[in-house]
Amino acid sequence: TSGRVPLMAGNWKMNLDHLQATHLVQKLDWTLRDAKHDYTAVEVAVLPPFTDLRSVQTLVEGDKLELRYGAQDLSPHASGAYTGDISGAFLAKLGCTYVAVGHSERREGHGETDAVVNAKVKAAYAHGLTPILCCGEALDVRKEGRQVEHVLDQLRADLDGVTKEQAASVVIAYEPIWAIGTGEVATPDDAQEVCAAIRTLLAELYSGDVADGIRLLYGGSVKAGNVAAIMAQEDVDGALVGGASIDPTEFASICRFRD
């Protein structure tokens, strides 16, 4: 990770109501405090459902927790006649640092194209949020050995028009779709292959310095038992954790991958 502060981000997906969210955040923070976790050495973030964000904000601000939080999606628009959508402005007001953009469950289940993902990335920046931009290939693409080409094509489109200053803060999550929620983990070499190619692309699009500072996460069935091997890869700077992030003990262990 050469100088990059690792980020462990928990994507709760559509799990935990606002009361359960409060319990999880408290338990996670207690567990990490017990372990004397240095949040500046390994950053920890949670991405709860929209309806939990206000409760998480109250807890984080009230108890001065060092935990960061964000949303799982946002509207490409700032406000207006978009029934059911949530603006980045609302998320910023709730103290969100991050917002996931282009998760495969949104690309697949909600027909989000790269053009939509690109508009959402720009909306995140417009509201001072840091996008966690998700990319990754389906199983058929992997079987054809086209994973690198596929992911780089996605990212070129998703980052179109994003400036160098903006890109300097982006977080990119490489999540092979066949490894999400399946228990099937990509090998550390698989994760490194694609993350290294992403970093090379970022150097081409922006600069070597910008590319060196950008955090690349791996996502796909990350657990306490497999995180260390993945984190040992040079170009992997953290994890986007789904299922294992709604168990505070397991997620805390993932955050403590150096123990």
Between CA 249 and CA 173 the distance in angstroms is 23
Complex with ligand PEP: residue 50 or 210, whichever CB lies closer = 50
Stretch that binds ligand PEP, among 15-23, 30-38, 86-94, 236-244 (CB under 6 A): 236-244
Least distance from C-beta 80 to ligand PEP, angstroms?
A: 29
Q: 170, 177, 117, 114: which is closest to 147 by C-alpha?
A: 177
Q: Is 43 among the catalytic positions?
A: no
Collapsed DSSP state (helix, strand, coil) of residue 185: coil
Q: Which of 76, 102, 213, 220 binds ligand PEP (CB under 6 A)?
A: 220
12: annotated binding-site residue?
yes
Q: Which of 242, 246, 247, 257 binds ligand PEP (CB under 6 A)?
A: 242
What x-and-dash track marks residues 180-219 binding ligand PEP by CB under 6 A? xx-------------------------------------x
In the set 43, 103, 137, 250, the catalytic residue is 103
Residue 98 near residue 129 (C-beta atoms within 8 A):
yes
Between CA 150 and CA 91 the distance in angstroms is 31
Q: Is 150 among the catalytic positions?
A: no
Q: Say whether residue 151 binds ligand PEP (CB under 6 A).
A: no
Phi, psi of 237 (to 5 degrees): -115, 20
Burial code of 123-162, b = ≥16 C-beta within 10 A, e = fewer?
A: bbbebebbbbbbbbbeeebbeeeebbebbbebbeebbeeb
The residue whose Cβ lies closest to ligand PEP is: 242
Kindly report the number of other CB atoms within 10 A of residue 192's CB atom: 20
Complex with ligand PEP: residue 11 or 206, whichever CB lies closer = 11
Least distance from C-beta 17 to ligand PEP, angstroms?
A: 19
